Amino acid sequence: MTPIGPTDSLTQPRYSGAATFARLPRIDEVADAEIKIVGVPFDSGVTYRPGARFGPSAIRQASRLLRPYNPAQKIDVFQTVQVADCGDISANPFNIEEAIEAVSNHASQLIAGNSRLITLGGDHTISLPLLRAMHARHGRIALVHFDAHLDTWNTYFGAPYTHGTPFRRAFEEGLLAEESCMHIGIRGPLYGSSDLVEDAGLGFQVITTDMVAEMGPKEVAAQIIRRVGNSPLYLSLDIDVMDPAFAPGTGTPEAGGLSSREVLTIIRALSGLDLVGGDVVEVSPAYDHAEVTSVAASHVVYELITLMAIKMANGS
């Protein structure tokens, strides 16, 4: 069956109509979708600037400009597999435990068949419940985490579930294929050198922003491919992995980051990996200018969809 693609922007102007991701159909407009997009407007786990609850709607708005054919990957993404927008998960802003429960339950329903899921955040707290859902469906997950920050801290003000702690909890809960996990783009000041020691104890390999600059995006991708192998892969991207010049609209910016081009080049080079899920988090539109950040985020999502479409087109 031919997938139902996005609204044709040559017959209906792309700035009109409902703001689904990339003008794709809603999930209730298709029989089922092989790739599902869902938003989690939640930012009650942030430690500094708030506002990522408005990330999903900003990314969808910026995604109006995406077109169906990806020339870098030579694929008409939305004609290859059915992609649909599943709207937003309702997450309680006043109760983090209840919110993450809702996210994992809803995400589990979305991936119950053979669907792959990409989530628009929201702050980084949401990656924990998303990994819980992925683990329940696929077993231990290889996590490739693009971020300026490790996000493996233990607690903030005694709170275990925050945007700086999701991957410590995921490790403790046994969700991760530790030998396959990586952080990409780490930089900026830490609380102490113990942060890195503790993180290494969880099994992560770190490729810092400086290392990306030295080895180049293609070699970074090659190292990711070697480490992930055939494991089911979850790619979590905090938009602050990009320099504030490319992504000012975020909660905890760090100078000296990756360019959007470097990030997109790395991701494009990952085709062949079994990407079962991903998220793009920490877009905080109130700190954005001219949609710079949400445009970058929408392109990351587009490249993740493309990776999934390529893998599914090749029969898996």
- Rank residues 106 and 124 by Cβ distance to Mn ion and give the closer one: 124
- Rank residues 85 and 238 by Cβ distance to Mn ion and give the closer one: 238
- Rank residues 34 and 147 by Cβ distance to Mn ion and give the closer one: 147
Q: How many residues bind Mn ion (CB under 5 A)?
A: 4
Among 34, 85, 88, 151, binds Mn ion (CB under 5 A): 151
What is the Cα–Cα distance from 281 to 245, expressed in whole angstroms? 17
3-state per-residue secondary structure call for 263-275: HHHHHHCCECEEE
Supply φ then ψ for residue 87, to 5 degrees: 75, -155
- Applying CB under 5 A, does 199 fall inside the site for Mn ion? no
Task: Give SS3 for 124.
Answer: helix
Least Å distance, CB 121 to Mn ion, is 9
Q: Are strands 83-88 and 35-40 parallel, antiparallel or unpaired?
A: parallel
Summarize the chain as % helix, strand, coil (round to 5). Answer: 40, 20, 40
- Rank residues 44 and 70 by Cβ distance to Mn ion and give the closer one: 44
Contact stretch for Mn ion (CB under 5 A) within 62-70, 86-94, 96-104, 231-239 = 231-239
Q: Do the beta carbons of residue 82 and residue 3 sit within 8 Å?
A: yes
Least Å distance, CB 145 to Mn ion, is 8
Q: Do the beta carbons of residue 296 and residue 264 sit within 8 Å?
A: no
- Applying CB under 5 A, does 34 fall inside the site for Mn ion? no
Q: Among 43, 11, 46, 8, which residue's Cα sits nearest to residue 25?
A: 8
What is the Cα–Cα distance from 19 to 242, expressed in whole angstroms? 25
Least Å distance, CB 166 to Mn ion, is 8
Q: Are strands 205-208 and 182-186 parallel, antiparallel or unpaired?
A: parallel
What is the Cα–Cα distance from 289 to 248, expressed in whole angstroms? 7
Contact stretch for Mn ion (CB under 5 A) within 36-44, 150-158, 223-231, 263-271 = 150-158
Among 147, 199, 262, 279, binds Mn ion (CB under 5 A): 147
What is the Cα–Cα distance from 46 to 124, expressed in whole angstroms? 8
- Applying CB under 5 A, does 123 fall inside the site for Mn ion? no
Least Å distance, CB 254 to Mn ion, is 11
Query: Cβ neighbours of residue 82 under 8 Å, at least 6 residues apart?
Result: 1, 3, 4, 30, 31, 32, 33, 34, 35
- Rank residues 88 and 151 by Cβ distance to Mn ion and give the closer one: 151
Least Å distance, CB 124 to Mn ion, is 4
Contact stretch for Mn ion (CB under 5 A) within 8-16, 50-58, 146-154, 243-251 = 146-154
Contact stretch for Mn ion (CB under 5 A) within 16-24, 95-103, 187-195, 235-243 = 235-243
- Applying CB under 5 A, does 238 fall inside the site for Mn ion? yes
Place of tokens 């989530």: 119
What's the maximum distance between 2 C-alpha atoms anywhere in the chain?
A: 57
Q: Scanning residues 86 to 105, which ones bind Mn ion (CB under 5 A)?
A: none
- Applying CB under 5 A, does 124 fall inside the site for Mn ion? yes
Least Å distance, CB 250 to Mn ion, is 9
Least Å distance, CB 189 to Mn ion, is 15
Positions that interact with Mn ion (CB under 5 A): 124, 147, 151, 238
